[in-house]
Structure 1
């Protein structure tokens, strides 16, 4: 079928429109960009905290940006307390408690959440397990009642546990097809070794070991009010928040909670390369990094700024080098994750096979240059401005402020953390950031993980002598030929 030709009138209309728009477009190119407005300081709303008789801490913040409220219930236990053979148990518990209580089955729970126009999500991290419920402010008592019932009174129906295990096993098999997922898992396992932080969730071999009895025991042990806190943020008064919390959680029984396991971090000497063989891969997924400080360390702010300059922001050195200048990849970045006992730094890039070695050279080159010379004046100014502005944006919403408060109470940060964050960032000197870069960015002592096809890139890795080979599940293999 051919397209009929445009009429004379239509062609004239197109020409006239173009004649009008072209000068406008040309003129728009000469319009100067508007000046950046002054920074807005963050003024933290007042917090009120009370501890119930059973040891549950309740933090209430009136933040009426919208007529909604956020309730976060956090257990101060997470994946780090999982038995080695049952890694991922904490997430199983967080998911399974939502599948039925003594008074509500899973359908009733979802129906009530839907009827309130609310949402309920759960997440288990290394150190904590959190339940977040968000909805309209006038439904706070009902929201608090429901999330308390889920946390306190789950029945863990066997059929729901079986379904959860089957779904998790299928999801893990699908995730193993992702080079980025595999790289993160192998990187964490290589860096932390037998330390609890080396377990990042369930694995195919641990799902089979997780049964209803272990889920019940984990819940009985760690889901206790003296091992938890509640943060209420939104368009409600502190008195209303405390009243709802007392009614929902006041009779929750205390328990003896074992302390989280502690272990020494493994020694990290030299550049250790783990190659994950993924036959016929057309690109390499690269991770480079090392240990860093715990979240409560007062040096966190300066190391966060150092990470922004190196690879944590879109105008970072890593992005300018291997994206803008070299064109090796679209979105390289570095992450700085600090947890309760320790932290990690990780630079990542997904690149073509033929630039695998060159990318590693540039990653380490930028590390060495930053460690040697520190930040340029403009870099430091921009990084501090970005950090201060991002903090304001992140805490402008109820959800964002709730997340900040959850971090404060999860890791025991100073009570004035929101009020002093911008001031602390502003005071950072170039020398302090240079020192932080030397601590954050390991050069000679670091872990490298490459997911790809070794047979296609091995000639680019001849400078590495300490290479271990594994398959995508992390099991050792012989060097691919």
Structure 2
């Protein structure tokens, strides 16, 4: 017997009206973590955590890697792309083969703050995973042919990347927020990369790939004490007489006009707004986190409901907290058609003001609280998610106990505290940023709206 097809609206209603939604269940508490957190004789901090969901282990190694001067970002990018292409005892094929035999992978990335090795393997292959890593840390060869091959590939990729609107907007926003600080050098210029030599990369590795100040995180089906002992055995030969280079202090974001960056003939605009925030160690952080979610931090937020669902100005709109070693900033972004750019900016500013003048209600705060706690517990319930969370926490001196206690902090935030955070951190005057688009199409409307300027 086939039942007639019913629409979602019909399913959601009864003869007496809409069906009542079931009440939210209580969030479960964060689980106790079995871990060891120690510093080895060579200065490397090791955090090993047992999470035996699957017989795997996740690895994250973060090495502070700040640098200045012309071409530094290019040399760092080439190093990250060639660190695993061969060592004193393994060529590229041997590296790949040894990792494949343990169901493993290892990758390297760099940004203005750090060099990061990340990977995974079967738990039984941890020793091999560490050996491949240690081999690269101590004796990466940076052979001439490997460096040249990866360098040429990078030049091609960077040329394409720098033509992308999102990359143009990101670079413009970083300059607007932080000027010429090294933190803004996220993507090197292709012409700088083209001049990098293998000898320069070897010298950079020798001077900057050092254990003191670095953090290694292991999360998986492991015995933490045994894992730390293995790290000591394998990486004990990685030594240096200096600490890893840290970024110079980063100034706070200061409010001001938005800068219009001309992109001729663009049919879309990228809006990027930013303001100073506080980091995870600040007592106001839990309330700010909930205020940000209410503004634009998830799909049912005010900003998304306004300019995406109601007005259709954009498919993508969001707000987020961006963290750095010295604090945090708020980022609000949306991509719009040129003809509605000014209107979308008006609504973004309107929602800034409304969040302070008409703060989130008790039910709104409960919704974002449940979302925040649920998202945190979900993201840390698997090995890759927990490893990445701990990587972010250790960067600012925190440990797993902060992670375990944070759901409780979120649960204690009051509606009044969220309202206060909304007034303080989302005041329109605190924001600056950039708009990337065709200035010939955008300027008249933006000039009439105010708060924008040409370069």
* Alignment TM-score, normalising by the size of structure 1: 0.86
Query: Alignment partner of 1:98: what SS?
Result: coil
**What residue in structure 1 maps to residue 163 of structure 2?**
177
How is 1:201-350 mapped onto 2 (pairs within 5 angstroms)? 201-257=187-243, 259-263=245-249, 265=251, 268-271=254-257, 273-350=258-335
**What residue in structure 2 maps to residue 478 of structure 1?**
none
Cα separation, partners in 2 of 1:257 and 1:221, compared to 1, 3 Å: farther
**What residue in structure 2 maps to residue 452 of structure 1?**
437
Q: Which runs of 5+ in 1 are unaligned?
A: 1-18, 470-481
Query: Alignment partner of 1:289: what SS?
Result: strand
Query: Alignment partner of 1:142: what SS?
Result: helix
Larger CA deviation: 283-292 vs 183-192 = 283-292
**What residue in structure 1 maps to residue 4 of structure 2?**
22
Kept in 2: contact 1:292–1:439 (CA 8 A): no
* Alignment TM-score, normalising by the size of structure 2: 0.91
Query: Alignment partner of 2:368: what SS?
Result: helix
Q: Which has the greater radius of gyration?
A: 1
**What residue in structure 2 maps to residue 472 of structure 1?**
none
Cα separation, partners in 2 of 1:419 and 1:23, compared to 1, 3 Å: closer
CA deviation vs aligned residue, 1:386-435 (integer Å, no higher than 9, x gap): 11111110010011111122222221025520221101111112232233
Cα separation, partners in 2 of 1:427 and 1:47, compared to 1, 3 Å: same
* Distance in 2 separating the partners of 1:365 and 1:50: 49
Is structure 2 residue 89 aligned with structure 1 residue 103? yes
Cα separation, partners in 2 of 1:95 and 1:227, compared to 1, 3 Å: farther
Query: Alignment partner of 1:40: what SS?
Result: coil
Q: Which runs of 5+ in 2 are unaligned?
A: none
Kept in 2: contact 1:353–1:457 (CA 8 A): yes
Cα separation, partners in 2 of 1:252 and 1:385, compared to 1, 3 Å: same
* Distance in 2 separating the partners of 1:69 and 1:56: 19
Q: CA deviation at 1:154?
A: 0.6
Query: Alignment partner of 1:177: what SS?
Result: coil
Query: Alignment partner of 1:425: what SS?
Result: helix
Number of matched pairs: 448
* Distance in 1 separating the partners of 2:22 and 2:123: 38
Kept in 2: contact 1:191–1:291 (CA 8 A): no
Kept in 2: contact 1:98–1:150 (CA 8 A): yes
How is 1:81-96 mapped onto 2 (pairs within 5 angstroms)? 81-96=67-82
* Distance in 2 separating the partners of 1:294 and 1:216: 36
Q: CA deviation at 1:266?
A: 7.2
Is structure 2 residue 42 aligned with structure 1 residue 54? yes
Kept in 2: contact 1:233–1:401 (CA 8 A): yes
* Distance in 2 separating the partners of 1:213 and 1:287: 39
* Distance in 1 separating the partners of 2:368 and 2:195: 46
Larger CA deviation: 309-318 vs 169-178 = 169-178
**What residue in structure 1 maps to residue 348 of structure 2?**
363
Is structure 2 residue 370 aligned with structure 1 residue 385? yes
Kept in 2: contact 1:86–1:210 (CA 8 A): no
**RMSD value over aligned CA atoms?**
2.4
* Distance in 2 separating the partners of 1:55 and 1:93: 22
**What residue in structure 2 maps to residue 394 of structure 1?**
379
**What residue in structure 2 maps to residue 190 of structure 1?**
176
Q: CA deviation at 1:134?
A: 0.6
**What residue in structure 2 maps to residue 426 of structure 1?**
411
Cα separation, partners in 2 of 1:217 and 1:292, compared to 1, 3 Å: farther
CA deviation vs aligned residue, 1:272-306 (integer Å, no higher than 9, x gap): x3222222222212111123334543433332222
Cα separation, partners in 2 of 1:81 and 1:405, compared to 1, 3 Å: same
Cα separation, partners in 2 of 1:269 and 1:51, compared to 1, 3 Å: closer
Kept in 2: contact 1:305–1:433 (CA 8 A): yes
Q: CA deviation at 1:65?
A: 0.8
Query: Alignment partner of 2:395: what SS?
Result: helix
Cα separation, partners in 2 of 1:373 and 1:156, compared to 1, 3 Å: same
* Distance in 1 separating the partners of 2:433 and 2:55: 48
